[in-house]
Structure 1
């Protein structure tokens, strides 16, 4: 399978603190990957670099078949290139319905003129219905998003990202604050998404990571400490020492 994203030799320091230290990371076209590590391991900074929020001091971040450098691109250009990111707290338009949130997120020309003149087609309505079905919110399409449970808001935000049809989805702690049933649905949602795109999940919850059943990358002090199946990395002496505790 061809590489979609390649991070190589990336380092970044903030006020003398090295948050990312010679980090190398690769993800393939349609792959699920979990990224774990103790607090301060560099997980958020790693996502900030990929999405253009933070520029590293050194190294390369290459994207797609043509190995285009993401470091020369703005945050909006990176998003347009097909990288979607979901933060820990769901950010949805609470006064708008679920359907409106999904409709606004559809991949469309974004010029002010195009936005003003936008009239949804029957295809757009179909796409919204299809997305609502995928995320398990068909029955809530006409409800205000502010009325949804925490878990449902998380699914809606994942749906809004999927509406953009990204090639890489970065998801930050999706299981936090969810009920067991919501976690299960979130697992299915992400596993399904990873069949057609790359999905990187940053997570603390080991049980959730186990259910994703994917390759795991352990970060420590800004670099990769171990990589492999969850069983492989959790039995690694170095990982036990720095992360799982003796």
Structure 2
């Protein structure tokens, strides 16, 4: 296992007296594919909110990278620039723009006002977009209006837009929701490919989808880690069966 890219240490946060995260600790390695499962209210979304800077915890620490940077001292935009990308459950693409234009806007180029004002895309950008489109399976849809894509294709486009920013960690929230069986399998393949060059954390309810990811699984319950290991290992855990699988 590679060294930790992200470490969550004894994180706790409460909302109106409800403890959404309770002394949560675990780590994600560089280049790791990890699935996070758990019942509603287990703290999965709050965990991602804390890592991306949307929510500040009451206690604990979030450490990033080999330089041990504290993410809790960074704003959302700064965390994104450090290399943390997040995909929400509902796809958010620019529907009036083509697939090509969406990917072009997402490329990891200079974002300063002067650079943006005088930016002109070049052959290198075209090559990067072509490679991204092939990675997400949309190479035949580059000139298609994004609003005309299927739900699954929009999900892939948004993942491609995040990959265009070259994140070191990609957080993906319930990518299988609303997809056909064929789209789910293509999404599994896409996420597994993405994890070859970066860490990918997938929050998901669909157990067949998680099984196909074939990765380490973390089970959350009441804001803490209940079990961790392979899917077979955690689904045989009696505590997991009692609070999640056996509902």
TM over 0.5: same fold? yes
- The Cα shift of 1:112 comes to 2.1
**Deviation sequence 1:130-167 (CA, Å, 0-9, x none):** 10011000110000000000000000000000000000
Per the alignment, residue 236 of structure 1 pairs with 237
**How high is the TM-score relative to the length of structure 2?**
0.99
In structure 2, distance between residues paired with 1:32 and 1:226:
17
* 1:88-237 → structure 2 map (5 Å cutoff): 88-237=89-238
Paired position in structure 2 for 1:25? 26
| Structure 1 CA distance for aligned equivalents of residues 26 and 172 of structure 2 | 16
Structural mapping, 1:68-87, within 5 Å: 68-87=69-88
Quote the Cα distance in structure 2 between the aligned partners of 1:144 and 1:114. 26
CA distance in 1 between counterparts of 2:152 and 2:165 reads 21
SS in 2 for 1:218: strand
**Counterpart Cα distance in 2 of 1:116 and 1:242:** 54
**Once the 2 structures are TM-superposed, how far is the Cα of residue 113 of structure 1 from its aligned partner?**
2.0
Residue 220 of structure 2 aligns to a residue whose secondary structure is strand
Residues 100-122 of structure 1: CA distance to partner in whole angstroms, max 9, x if unpaired? 00000000111222111110010
Residues 53-100 of structure 1: CA deviation (Å, up to 9, x unaligned): 000000010000011000000000000000000000000000000000
Counterpart-to-counterpart distance in 2, 1:55 and 1:245? 33
Gaps of 5+ in 1: none
Secondary structure at the aligned position of 2:5 is classed as: strand
Match of 2:58 in 1: 57
Mapped partners of 1:111, 1:149: distance in 2? 34
Q: How far, CA to CA, are the matches of 2:117 and 2:47 in structure 1? A: 36
Partner secondary structure for residue 240 of structure 1: helix
Structure 2 counterpart SS, 1:181:
helix
TM-score (norm 1): 0.99
DSSP 3-state at the match of 1:78? helix
User: 2:149 and 2:116 mapped to 1: Cα distance?
Assistant: 27
3-state SS of 1:20 partner: strand
Structure 1's consecutive aligned runs of 4 or more residues displaced over 4 angstroms after TM superposition are none
Gaps of 5+ in 2: none
Once residues 109 and 202 of structure 1 are traced to their aligned partners in structure 2, the CA distance between those partners, rounded to angstroms, is 31
Instruction: Give distance in 1, aligned partners of 2:114 and 2:102.
Output: 20
Q: Return the offset for 1:238.
A: 0.2
Deviations 1:202-241 (A, max 9, x none): 0000000000000000000000000000000000000000
How many residue pairs align between the two structures? Answer: 246
